[in-house]
Amino acid sequence: MKQMTSIEKAVNRLVGKPGAEGTLASSKLPGDAAEAFSSHSDASAEQKKLVKLDRPLMAANSLLLPEMGSSPLADQFRRIKQPLLRRLDSQSGSNALSNVVMVTSSLEGEGKTYTSINLAISIAMELDRTALLVDLDVVKKSVVSQLGIAVDPGLSDYLINREVEIANIIHSTDIDRFKLIPAGNAKQIEANAELLTSEKMKAFLLELSTRYKDRVIVLDTPPLLASSIAKGLAFMAGHLVMVVEAEKTSSTIISESLQYLDGSRFAGFVLNKTNLASSKDSVYGSYG
């Protein structure tokens, strides 16, 4: 891959760049967040009704299902998740966000939601892991559409309505150990987009990470170059995964995106839309 030379240079510059001062991982809880920490109920208060996923639609969307454990798709995501999980385990307890993974891309259409869903389901297929997928792309709400479900309340409802608690927006699905926080009412959030990078949002992610330490929290966010929100969210996650569309996204675009990331949080790239026959190229970059 000829692109790799310039991309690797950009990654090297990124990893050598110091983290942003005052990011969530090293900051103290603001007053409102500390209050929220003590007021929310625990996992026992989560939504009890199982959300039934549309499996035929998921199959049509090339999404992973537990019964596909021996398929090429399952193997691809197994090779993506394993080094990522080793990274998470090695940093467990080192900061409050060590179990939070943000999945993003430079532009729309590169496959970040596809990757987020499949990564979360693949993690849930581990016998000792639970995955919590959070849809932060609150305008498009692509996660629920690809899963073929309609479920509320969601993230935007929690951010806007003080009466909605975190446990109220965590939905269990009919895939074991795969839980979901949907985007919620996008129309509410469109007029209050700053809520997604607010102190309440920081407190929300910090509480998710701390209260549910046994879960891998996967964030599906807007693309970096299409949304200022994604740039802010990049400093609210413990690990960053960048999805790149094979043979289309230029190294210039990738390098521009990397400028907005904290090198200490950067986990690696996922090369999407490659031929399964050459699946060895489906992942590149460093998860070290």
Please report whether residue 8 resides in a domain. Answer: no
Over residues 10-51, the pLDDT tens digits come to: 556 665 544 433 222 222 333 333 333 333 445 555 666 899
Please report whether residue 14 resides in a domain. Answer: no
Please report whether residue 154 resides in a domain. Answer: yes
Describe the strand order of the beta sheet including 215-220 as a list of residue ranges: 47-51, 171-173, 178-181, 130-135, 215-220, 100-105, 239-245, 266-272, 283-284
Over residues 121-145, the pLDDT tens digits come to: 999 999 999 999 999 988 888 999 9
Please report whether residue 15 resides in a domain. Answer: no
Q: Are 20 and 231 in contact (CB under 8 A)?
A: no
C-alpha dist (Å) from residue 164 to 100, 103, 170, 235: 22, 26, 11, 25
**pLDDT for the residue 2:** 40
Please report whether residue 38 resides in a domain. Answer: no
For the chain, the domain total comes to: 1
Q: What is the mean pLDDT of residues 195-210?
A: 94
**pLDDT for the residue 82:** 96
Q: Is 284's pLDDT higher than 60? A: no
C-alpha dist (Å) from residue 109 to 226, 245, 265: 11, 8, 24
Q: Which two tokens stand for residue 7?
A: 């991309």
Please report whether residue 39 resides in a domain. Answer: no
Please report whether residue 1 resides in a domain. Answer: no
How far is Cα of residue 136 from the mean position of the Cα atoms in its chain? 8
Structural Rg of the chain based on CA atoms: 18
* CATH (domain of 131): 3.40.50.300
* Position 271, amino acid: L
Expressed as residue numbers, the domain containing 237 is 51-284
Please report whether residue 170 resides in a domain. Answer: yes
Over residues 139-157, the pLDDT tens digits come to: 888 999 999 999 999 999 9
